[in-house]
Amino acid sequence: MSYDLQLKTDPPTMPLKPAILILAHKRKRQAYISYTTNARGRAAVLASTIRHGKAHLRDMPEGALGEFTLMAVNVGLEKSKANATVERYQRKFEREGYKLFGGARSALPKVTLNGKRMSIVDAIVQAKTKAPYQTVYRRIQRGWTVREALGLQ
């Protein structure tokens, strides 16, 4: 295993500030878009994940480190504006023909229930489930469907 190869990043040195990170595999037209409070730390985790071939993100495409590009945009973004900005970038990349991978990793994770996109808290209220938020969140992280996590199936 060689550490000579580095993840292509824009900007070349990731900031120690909050930012929207876009990890793109341009050949396979797939992207992961999320908000982080420390762009440099998250970039290191993503690079290590790709380098060691671990499936850290759901449906992450296989590939060498040099096939991915990591971009930090909206550096210094406030947490309150993160979700709307992430969703805007996700729509932009989908319009450009990219398939999104990875789960919800934002300031407020969103799920789709009965065709409507909402926060996990709203889904719990709508489903009238007695499961606590953390239980539902962890179930979704482990790959359960939203309906299974809420106890509707």
Work out the mean pLDDT of the chain and round it to a whole number: 87
Q: Where are the alpha helices (DSSP H) in 18-151?
A: 39-52, 82-95, 120-127, 133-141, 146-149
Q: What is the CA radius of gyration of the chain?
A: 16
* pLDDT at position 126 over 90: yes
Task: Quickly count: other Cβ atoms within 10 Å of residue 116's Cβ.
Answer: 10
Q: What is the pLDDT of residue 56?
A: 72
Question: Residue 8, SS3?
Answer: strand
Q: What is the pLDDT of residue 3?
A: 57
pLDDT tens string 32-53: 999 998 999 999 989 888 888 7
Q: Decide: pTM greater than 0.85.
A: no
* pLDDT at position 107 over 80: no
